[in-house]
Structure 1
């Protein structure tokens, strides 16, 4: 079976490589010349554990190709996936669909036979029907169907999410049952390998599939903001947020995931999707106040964390050296989009701090976004050299094993602000540190 993937970014590249691993022949279309050149040379332009091996193996086997010619890519394809960016629109936070609509027009012009046009990008409700309108206007003679197949990939574990998903959501035009059945047959073939592991394929209407993606991410973002507010309350009352989260998570109705307090959520999905869902609800004149409040709580959270660091240094970081461990919005990715480190470090730099930072994979991506005077170090201990305070912003696993003694030897003042709760408070205090974490007494 042949499919095409329009867009070789994070979603398109991971999805395309996994589909190829399923045994499908996948043609990935990428119009950015630098990214296309890298992919053709076997260089992966994003960091995702295991993706390099998956791409190399399937490219060598001839199941995964990269190019910039849509007509060549869609020739003989039974399904064409749109996986281009949908960034927030300036001014109102709504998803910008210009790239999706442009891809739809190009696909319409290039197709020579029947195919299912599948939206993989995160798009507002009604987008799949709008894509269908664009294609019909461009090629009234074309035989096609549309489907919505939102991705649920977690950066850092995206391959496992794609190969062993907890669910696959596929939206079809249920207002036209015969066409929906034809499109469903194609999508069943695309995901045939997943039936062997009993991964659930959930078929819904187009609107439901589109909304499910936004609702899922907004709920998880809300869960993060909730535990962050509980952490603040724990600090006021002398309770322990980790024990609280454990007690909550044992309730199977709640679950333990996304109950880790920190400096606020970031990344490519949660900030963008919460804003977009708020806008969707406003346009539908349906209140979505929990999501709107989640956005506000998260922005306030990031601002408050810089103040927490300054307070730990006696009320001023002017001419003080701040060691920073972790810059990306989460571990196992080089993604800096909406990372809490950005507003926090800019606030510290404005207050006169000298920044010494280390991140295992994110420093190149961080440099254009962080204060220009930031010093980037070769490892965590180099970042701690001569520091007045050490701040943990990303919970990379390697940071957990850092020796307190080694830190104490390098730091000028023994102050740690652990915004990810990766260290044991008792151990750190026994090593002579003034240690502050999140929501723990």
Structure 2
């Protein structure tokens, strides 16, 4: 089989490389000539463990190619995927679908024959119908069947998620055209069918809403355990034990029950907001999701207040070391990361900030206050610090020697917002240790 993938961003590049690993011929097209040239030379524009090797291997074998020529990418393709960005629209929080509609029109005009056009971008329910209208207006002479195939990739483990997913969701239209689109996509995902991955075939609207509902539910789960953590601090309970006691219930599950500074990233913030706006417009508001959004924003802002309180109510002139800037480990993604809510108010209050992140420094320099000093490693960041704040639980931070950390720091305050360290060990090393939801 052969497919074209429009958009060499996170979803497009990971999905394209994984399809190529299945043996599919993939043509990845992007309007950014510099990005395409870099990919041809083996330069990966994002940090994702294992992606560099996957791209290199499949490009060498000729299964994965990069181009700026849409017609070239589409030639002989069994399906064309849209994997362009859908950021939050300024002003109202709705998903900005302008890139999706523009790409759909370009595909329709470049099509040389009947086509299956698949939306892989995360889009609000109803987008598929509008895409169908766009392509029909552009090419009324061609049968272009629109389908939805949302992605469920976690940054930092995206390749494993694609190769061994919990499920594959395929949304298609009615009639012979929808049946043809479903058949094409089932053939494409046959390697997963052979390992008994559930293939969920639905309407386009159901597929679109499934993606948003899944992300919103996980965001609510994170926010719920964060509120429980606050309660634990007030009543003397331990959120780790509470989460374990909850998670062992098969109806609840353990995942996404880790207390922290609030969720961020490329999905949860924009998807919960887009779902809330879509639901409100449809006259069926999702109050739990609306509350989740508000509580999460308040939580991220409250983390800076915790740092100030731990330093006696004033951080002016004090040095604060920050470990981890990205929204989660194993990614360089800074979108809506807690660090963006924590560091600026500390800088504004006069704190001297020393930060280290294994992958996110390049992006952080563009987003964080100009006065932040970027250290070479964790101990370098801690050098001379009055307090240390752990914001992202990179593995290399877990094994830091508490003794060496104490030697490097001037002060004795540690705020562990990911509950990585053992409280007793930190106190034994001479630290005034603060964590989330633990006595």
TM-score, with structure 2 as normaliser: 0.99
List runs of 5+ in structure 1 lacking aligned partners.
none
Partner of 1:406: 404
Name the structure 1 match of 2:157: 157
- C-alpha displacement of 1:253: 0.5
Helix, strand or coil at the partner of 1:142: coil
Structure 1 position 34, deviation (Å)? 2.4
- CA-to-partner distance for each residue in 1:67-125, whole Å, 9 max, x for gaps? 11111101110100000000001111000011000101110011112221000000111
CA-to-aligned-CA distance 1:252-295 (integer Å, 9 cap, x gap): 10000000011100000000000000001011000210000000
Match of 1:380 among 362, 378, 381: 378
User: Hey, what's the Cα distance between the residues in 1 that align with 2:204 and 2:334?
Assistant: 32
CA distance in 2: counterparts of 1:438 and 1:362, whole angstroms: 24
1:262 equivalent in structure 2: 260
Q: Deviations over 1:218-275 (max 9, x none)?
A: 0000000000000000000000000100000000100000000111000000000000
Q: 1:13-412 alignment to 2 at 5 Å?
A: 13-173=13-173, 176-412=174-410
Give yes or no for contact 1:381–1:407 (8 Å, CA) kept in 2: yes
On the 8 A contact 1:326/1:393 being kept in 2, the answer is yes
The corresponding residue for 1:421 is 419
Post-superposition CA distance 1:336-390 (Å, at most 9, x none): 0000001100010011000000001110011111111000000000000000000
**Pairwise CA distance, 1:36:** 1.4
Aligned-partner Cα distance in 1 for 2:220–2:34? 37
Q: Is the 8 A contact 2:136 2:144 kept in 1?
A: no
Partner of 1:298, secondary structure, is helix
Deviation at 1:200, TM superposition (A): 1.0
Report SS of the residue matched to 2:367: coil
Shift of 1:177: 2.5
Aligned length: 439
How many Å separate the matches in 1 of 2:85 and 2:231? 38
Stretches (4+) displaced over 4 A: none
